[in-house]
């Protein structure tokens, strides 16, 4: 560590960033040096992306300082950050599909004449790709490239602009294991050439395999920076989840002495593909009984969303079965699933569960508009709809100026209460709730949790998907942990401990031979160019 004398390539001190009442970063310190690969880990909402957005000039911090190579900087825009040698590779690529690689690299560059000089850039990209093991044909159009190649284009673009500090947001999330191994080798090579490489990740195995230093964020604060060589998965997981869990007296206690419950939801060997056609569910088995609540924990992107969508009929299963109340509903329409008594509180209320541009009455009747008394023949029964809407708003504590307000105008909490009220109306047999209290205030959270507990008490089965462990512990009898599309473990809420859950969420099952490494065991040094 001879470079210790030089100032760090990046030094962020006391970064605080608020969004309304949410404190995304609370006095975060972060430093990374040239020549090292530095991993930034933490649960969802720990503040990783916000911190990197501050570093790349997307956000301005409320307080705190940023220094690059020891010189204080104040970025007013991403352009300033680029000029200072900072390059970011986002999880969602920002390439223009119909243009070539070279044209994409030239996009947004200043000082270009009317005619694009692509041939020079093509030569330069060839040379850069050769040198860093990031080969891609500069003349190819983006749509012709695989996801892994597109990512290489993103990296090359940043390098071509002369970046000395390279930031990658969950770079392996979209890659196959082989591509991930190729990326790992390339990043190591870049660090060896003196670049500072920072990457955000959830996968502890990958972090340990690739990073020199690891900084852990938890709830908007930096918990610490550790030497990757001197730590292990267990201690990293502890740092990540390490807060005190919900006290046991506030956890859900299983209804005492209940005999074997009638099975409401049974999922057997379920497989499904994600949006990009990669396997998202890889043989999931679950069982939820009447009056029972099963929580699904896991780091985002391990198949939770797909699980909810397949169960509710919004996504096709490629294998396996979904049986609800004894009825096989695999790959049936969302309408058939709803008709079987399934309530669905989707992940994204305004994009999926509500129609923001229509009024509250129109939203209230979304499930029930086909049946009496809300409908008479082909006509909607205006008065019955008004009464129904008022009752729904009232019973679920939705604060709204009136039923003709567009749903999109309500606050997040009130939107969610409206959505829950509608879905839970009429005694559902199964409630599928995804992040039911995400982004809502404390009062609304309490109402939402109360409504879900009432359903359980009334005998409904609940499948609760959440990234908030406290929420899971407070509302579920059991918690199953999803990792890379599989259930890697199931624990009783009453006896769950944080270390156990944290390790499961990181994919560490503790049984030798069953662990699933982030790189699927491909040795980094030997990794071929994917």
Partner 1 sequence: MASAIPSPRLERRAAPSAVASAVVPFVAVALALVAGGIVLWAAGEPPVAVYRAMLDGAVGSRDGVAETLVKTIPLLLAGLGVAVAFRMRLWNIGAEGQLYLGAVAASGTALYVLPDAPAAVLIPAMILAGMAGGAVWAAVPALLRARLQVNEIITSLMLNYVAILFAEYLVHGPWRDPVGFGFPGTPRFPDAAELPQWGTTRVHLGLAFGLAAAGILWLVLGRTRWGYEIAVAGTNARAARYAGLPTARNILLVMALSGALAGLAGMSEVAGIGHQLQRSFSPGYGYTAIIVAWVGRLHPGGVALVAFLLAGLLVGGDALQMELGLPAAVAPMLQGAILFFLLGGEALARYRVTWRRPTPIPGGPAPVVEPG
Residues at the contact surface with partner 1, assessed by CB under 8 A: 19, 24, 49-50, 53, 58-59, 76-77, 79-80, 313-314, 333-338, 344, 346, 350-358, 362, 365-367, 369-370, 375, 378-380, 382, 399-401, 405-406, 408-412, 415, 439
- Helices 412-424 & 442-457 angle (0-180, nearest 10): 10
| Beta carbons within 8 Å of 498's beta carbon, 6+ residues apart | 238, 241, 242, 243, 244, 245, 469
- CB nearer partner 1, residue 147 or residue 338: 338
Strand-pair partners of 37: 197
* Minimum gap (Å) between residue 517 Cβ and partner 1: 29
- CB nearer partner 1, residue 257 or residue 377: 377
Pairing of β 213-218 and β 37-41: parallel
| Beta carbons within 8 Å of 453's beta carbon, 6+ residues apart | 252, 475
Strand-pair partners of 17: 25
- Helices 382-395 & 412-424 angle (0-180, nearest 10): 110
* Minimum gap (Å) between residue 333 Cβ and partner 1: 6
| Beta carbons within 8 Å of 33's beta carbon, 6+ residues apart | 3, 6, 8, 9, 196, 213
* Minimum gap (Å) between residue 505 Cβ and partner 1: 20
Ordered alpha helix ranges (H), 351-411? 360-364, 382-395
- CB nearer partner 1, residue 289 or residue 346: 346
- CB nearer partner 1, residue 93 or residue 369: 369
- CB nearer partner 1, residue 268 or residue 381: 381
Does 285 sit behind a cis peptide bond, omega within 30 degrees of 0 on the bond before it?
no
Residue pair 351/415 in contact (Cβ under 8 Å)? The answer is no
- CB nearer partner 1, residue 346 or residue 421: 346
Q: What is the DSSP string of 82-118?
A: HHTTEEEE-SS----TTSBHHHHHHTT-SS--SS--H
- CB nearer partner 1, residue 107 or residue 358: 358
The residue among 503, 470, 498, 361 whose CA lies nearest residue 418 is: 361
Q: What is the DSSP string of 462-509?
A: EEEE-S-HHHHHHH-SEEEEEETTEEEEEEEGGG--HHHHHHHHTT--
- CB nearer partner 1, residue 67 or residue 355: 355
| Helical (H) or strand (E) element with 125 | helix 118-132
* Minimum gap (Å) between residue 6 Cβ and partner 1: 28
Pairing of β 63-68 and β 37-41: unpaired
* Minimum gap (Å) between residue 123 Cβ and partner 1: 30
* Minimum gap (Å) between residue 369 Cβ and partner 1: 6
Handedness of CA 36, 42, 46, 50 (dihedral sign): positive
- CB nearer partner 1, residue 80 or residue 137: 80
* Minimum gap (Å) between residue 80 Cβ and partner 1: 7
Pairing of β 22-32 and β 10-19: antiparallel
- CB nearer partner 1, residue 229 or residue 379: 379
- CB nearer partner 1, residue 380 or residue 524: 380
* Minimum gap (Å) between residue 76 Cβ and partner 1: 5
Residue pair 15/51 in contact (Cβ under 8 Å)? The answer is yes
* Minimum gap (Å) between residue 410 Cβ and partner 1: 7
* Minimum gap (Å) between residue 337 Cβ and partner 1: 8
* Minimum gap (Å) between residue 8 Cβ and partner 1: 25
């Amino acid at each position: 560590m001879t470079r210790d004398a030089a100032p760090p390539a990046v030094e962020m001190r006391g970064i605080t960033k608020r969004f309304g009442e949410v404190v995304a970063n609370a006095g975060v310190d972060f430093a990374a040096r040239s020549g090292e690969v530095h991993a930034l880990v933490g649960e969802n909402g720990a503040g990783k992306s916000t911190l990197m957005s501050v570093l790349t000039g997307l956000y301005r911090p409320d307080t705190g300082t940023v220094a690059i190579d020891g010189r204080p900087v104040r970025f007013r825009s991403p352009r300033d950050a680029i000029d200072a040698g900072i390059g970011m590779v986002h999880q969602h690529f920002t390439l223009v599909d119909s243009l070539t690689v070279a044209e994409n690299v030239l996009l947004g560059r200043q000082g270009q004449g009317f005619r694009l000089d692509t041939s020079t850039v093509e030569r330069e990209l060839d040379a850069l790709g050769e040198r860093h093991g990031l080969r891609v044909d500069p003349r190819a159009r983006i749509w012709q490239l695989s996801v892994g190649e597109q990512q290489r284009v993103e990296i090359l673009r940043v390098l071509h602009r002369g970046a000395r500090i390279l930031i990658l947001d969950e770079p392996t999330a979209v890659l196959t294991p082989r591509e991930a191994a190729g990326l790992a080798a390339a990043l190591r090579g870049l660090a060896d050439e003196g670049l500072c490489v920072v990457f955000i990740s959830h996968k502890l195995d990958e972090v340990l395999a690739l990073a020199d230093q690891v900084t852990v964020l938890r709830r908007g604060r930096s918990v610490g920076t550790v030497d990757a060589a001197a730590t292990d998965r267990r201690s990293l997981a502890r740092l990540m989840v390490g807060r005190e869990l919900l006290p046991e007296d506030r956890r859900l206690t299983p209804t005492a002495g209940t005999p074997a419950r009638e099975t409401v939801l049974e999922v057997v060997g379920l497989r499904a593909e994600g949006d990009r056609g990669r396997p998202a569910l890889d043989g999931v088995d679950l069982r939820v009984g009447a009056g029972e609540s099963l929580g699904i924990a896991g780091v985002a992107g391990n198949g939770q969303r797909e699980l909810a969508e397949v169960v509710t009929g919004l996504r096709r299963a490629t294998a396996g079965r979904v049986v609800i109340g004894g009825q096989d509903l695999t790959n049936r329409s969302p309408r058939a699933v709803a008709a079987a008594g399934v309530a669905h509180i989707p992940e994204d209320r305004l994009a999926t569960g509500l129609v923001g541009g229509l009024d509250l009455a129109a939203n209230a009747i979304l499930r029930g508009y086909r049946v009496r008394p809300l409908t008479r023949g082909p006509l909607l029964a205006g008065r019955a709809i008004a009464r129904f809407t008022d009752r729904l708003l009232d019973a679920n504590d939705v604060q709204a100026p009136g039923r003709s307000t567009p749903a999109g105008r309500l606050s997040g909490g009130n939107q969610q209460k409206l959505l829950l009220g509608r879905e839970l109306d009429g005694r559902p047999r199964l409630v599928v709730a995804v992040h039911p209290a995400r982004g809502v205030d404390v009062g609304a959270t309490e109402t939402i949790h109360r409504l879900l507990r009432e359903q359980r008490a009334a005998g409904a089965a609940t499948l609760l998907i959440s990234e908030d462990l406290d929420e899971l512990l407070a509302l579920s009898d059991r918690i199953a942990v999803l990792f890379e599309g599989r259930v890697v473990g199931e624990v009783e809420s009453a006896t769950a401990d944080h270390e156990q859950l944290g390790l499961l969420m990181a994919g560490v099952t503790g049984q030798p031979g069953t662990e699933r490494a982030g790189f699927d065991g491909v040795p980094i040094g030997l990794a071929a160019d994917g």
